[in-house]
Copies of this chain bind each other. A is one copy, B any other.
Amino acid sequence: MSEKTRVAILGASGYTGAELVRLLALHPHVRITALTADRRAGKEFADVFPHLGGLDLPTLTAIDEVNWDVVDFVFCALPHGTTQEVIAGLPERIKVCDLSADFRLKDTALYEQVYGAPHKAPDLQASVAYGLTEMYREQVRAARIVANPGCYPTGIQLALMPLLKAGLIEAEGIIADAKSGVTGAGRGPKEGTLYAEVTEGIHPYGVGTHRHGPEIDQGLTDAAGQPVVSTFTPHLMPMARGILATIYVQTAKGATADDLRAHLSETFSAEPFVRVLKEGQVPATRHVRGSNYVLLNAFPDRVPGRCILTAVEDNLVKGASGQAVQNMNVMLGFDETTGLMQQPMFP
């Protein structure tokens, strides 16, 4: 490991870009050789994110100005819709972890329907691995391009996929009610994410129509071995980072909450980033803030035959940049936890 892997972050001026820089600052095997942000090209990264002013980083450039000869690995944090062409144009020797939604849906026809535009790199799509690391580790290891999962699908799929695979819950009637921090909406100024509009309140959005619904169903369908259509309602709340998913399921085979918890515990027992809590312990988003952990638990419902699952994650870490680093570690053969052992920051 004498030579460090040279990393470029495309679209580095957003929150996921900043979070990649924060995490990679403690990664011993990589160094950042390019940071792009077309509209801020020429600026120092610390002018855009002063909290990282203590690091020695390259100046922001336009994506056209990147010298790909000094790049071995690319994190692509560009907006949805712009990424397929960019990645298609990269030198083949460069491995890529893409944080956009552009390669997440395997079915390009579904992609077009959900995102409203034809897929621009359908040939690449077939070879892309879906980077929900704990579920698709071998595909990630073998892939040149990994599509990093959406923030909501990460926790929800980790809670449900093992239970569907084991037939412990019904494939019908799954409801995920998710509560998210505001960084999921990005750093672009919008009235709806102003402090005064968000503080001390909560509201749902994209009710019945959010684009992460089909992505969630893709994983659940894969796990269940039959088509799954789930209910998914995201909410925006006063919290910079974090996602809590409260998931309502019908159990199968007479399974109880204890059975579900036990199966999740066993499934994830060797996983460094997924912890299944003890009976009665309530997952809270603040217990994972700033870290790559996902916490899961299962609770019995008042209604016989139903259980309530909970999953928490930091949307910018396990839900984005942390899982991206985790995937890079797998793709490049590093220990999977490298650079990711920063503990949650509470309070």
A residues adjacent to B (C-beta < 8 A) = 15, 18, 21-22, 25-26, 49-55, 173, 175, 177, 179, 181-183, 187, 189-191, 193-205, 207-209, 213, 229-233, 235, 237-242, 244, 246, 248, 275, 277, 281-291, 293, 299-303, 306, 308, 310, 312, 341-347
- Chain B residues with Cβ under 8 A from A283's Cβ? 203
A202 and B239 contact, CB distance less than 8 A: yes
Residue in contact with A193 in the complex, picked from B195, B208, B231, CB distance below 8 Å: B195
A284 and B50 contact, CB distance less than 8 A: yes
A287-B50 in contact given A204-B282, A208-B300, A302-B209 (Cβ < 8 Å)? yes
Copies of this chain present: 4
- Chain B residues with Cβ under 8 A from A299's Cβ? 207-208
A51-B287 in contact given A248-B175, A302-B209 (Cβ < 8 Å)? yes
Residue in contact with A347 in the complex, picked from B189, B240, B287, B341, CB distance below 8 Å: B240
Residue in contact with A282 in the complex, picked from B55, B203, B237, B306, CB distance below 8 Å: B203
What residue of chain B has the Cβ atom nearest to residue A49's Cβ? B346
- Chain B residues with Cβ under 8 A from A230's Cβ? 302-303
B53 and A275 contact, CB distance less than 8 A: yes
B238 and A195 contact, CB distance less than 8 A: yes
Please measure, in the bound complex, the distance between the C-alpha atom of A248 and the C-alpha atom of B52, giving whole angstroms: 27
- Chain B residues with Cβ under 8 A from A207's Cβ? 282, 299, 308, 310
Chain A interface helix/strand/loop/mixed: loop
A22-B343 in contact given A239-B200, A290-B290 (Cβ < 8 Å)? yes
A194 and B196 contact, CB distance less than 8 A: no
- Chain B residues with Cβ under 8 A from A291's Cβ? 51, 54
What residue of chain B has the Cβ atom nearest to residue A229's Cβ? B303
Q: In the complex, what's the smallest C-beta–C-beta distance from A178 to chain B, in angstroms?
A: 10
- Chain B residues with Cβ under 8 A from A312's Cβ? 203
Please measure, in the bound complex, the distance between the C-alpha atom of A185 and the C-alpha atom of B304, giving whole angstroms: 28
A190-B193 in contact given A202-B244, A208-B300, A282-B204 (Cβ < 8 Å)? no
Please measure, in the bound complex, the distance between the C-alpha atom of A50 and the C-alpha atom of B283, giving whole angstroms: 9
What residue of chain B has the Cβ atom nearest to residue A199's Cβ? B240
Residue in contact with A51 in the complex, picked from B183, B238, B289, CB distance below 8 Å: B289
B240 and A238 contact, CB distance less than 8 A: no
Please measure, in the bound complex, the distance between the C-alpha atom of A285 and the C-alpha atom of B236, giving whole angstroms: 11
- Chain B residues with Cβ under 8 A from A302's Cβ? 208-209, 213, 229-232
Please measure, in the bound complex, the distance between the C-alpha atom of A240 and the C-alpha atom of B201, giving whole angstroms: 9
B303 and A203 contact, CB distance less than 8 A: no
What residue of chain B has the Cβ atom nearest to residue A22's Cβ? B343
- Chain B residues with Cβ under 8 A from A242's Cβ? 200-202
